[in-house]
Amino acid sequence: MSDEETPQAPGIIAAFAQPDESESPQRRRRGVGPDPMEMLRKWTPRTRLGRMVQSGQVITIDAAFATGLPIREVEIIDALIPGLEDDVINVNMIQRMTDSGRRVRFNVMACVGNRDGYVGLAICKGKEVASTIRKAIENAKLSVIQIQRGNGSWESGQGAGTSVPFKVTGRAGSTRITLVPAPTGKGLVIGETGRKVLTLAGVTDVWSQSKGQTRTTINFAKATFNALKQLNEHRVSGDQAGRLNIVKGRVPE
């Protein structure tokens, strides 16, 4: 079988595609690390799933989840979901007095998503801001999950789901976030931190209720992410999925 007939993951195809010489390369944001496309070209898989992705046996993220194998290489996510957007949710400086003096460390939370059914969230600690941000983004990619979207509101019409299909609650510490289905066009009625997570996940309309210490940015983001994870824990029949227009992952074109 020739190389043209061998299926490949979309990120690998984009990485090895010849760039247009008329276009100037885009400058990357400081602190986010090397270009994912460049890393894919130099990638040598170290895990079984990585070798399956590089050889073309697995070309979608859903197929990767179906294998049941853990995702331990960032290049797997870059190959299967190219163009992931990232956002730094919170950066905290932690100072601690020791016998040798004051020690400074940074606590960074980052979120990644494709705005179409896949989102990841992670927190990382380190001595330098740039390297900690880069590691937090990588860990967020390794924690990417598939979410369900639907039209759970009685005011919603037909078509692909833009909200959550049913009421769901996520907790983190003392913070509790409840996501409630909203009609199309309502927008994200939630705090700024939760709005960042939902936007990267591809949810555009939702009501919300919050309890606890909601000023804690990290717990607010975790609670919102945990609420999205809870969507996958509910079993939905085929009739209910059709009635609520439930879509798992990407919205089919």
SS3 sequence of 125-162: EECCHHHHHHHHHHHHHHCCEECEEECCCCCCCCCCCC
Q: What is the pLDDT of residues 145-170, one digit of tens each?
A: 999 998 877 676 666 678 898 999 99
CATH topology of domain 148-248: Ribosomal Protein S5; domain 2 (3.30.230)
Residue 17 reports pLDDT greater than 80: yes
Q: Let me know the angle formed at the C-alpha of 31 by 39 and 37, rounded to the nearest 5 degrees.
A: 20
Signed CA dihedral, 214, 219, 221, 225: sign only: negative
Give mean pLDDT, residues 139-148.
Answer: 94
pLDDT for 2: 47
Give mean pLDDT, residues 35-40.
Answer: 87
Q: What is the pLDDT of residues 192-235, one digit of tens each?
A: 999 999 999 999 999 999 999 888 999 999 999 999 999 988 87
Burial class (CB in 10 A: 0-12, 13-18, 19+), 249: buried
Every domain range in the chain assigned CATH 3.30.230.10: 148-248
Every domain range in the chain assigned CATH 3.30.160.20: 85-145
Q: Please, what CATH class does the domain formed by 85-145 belong to?
A: alpha beta
Give mean pLDDT, residues 4-22.
Answer: 74
DSSP annotation of 216 reads -
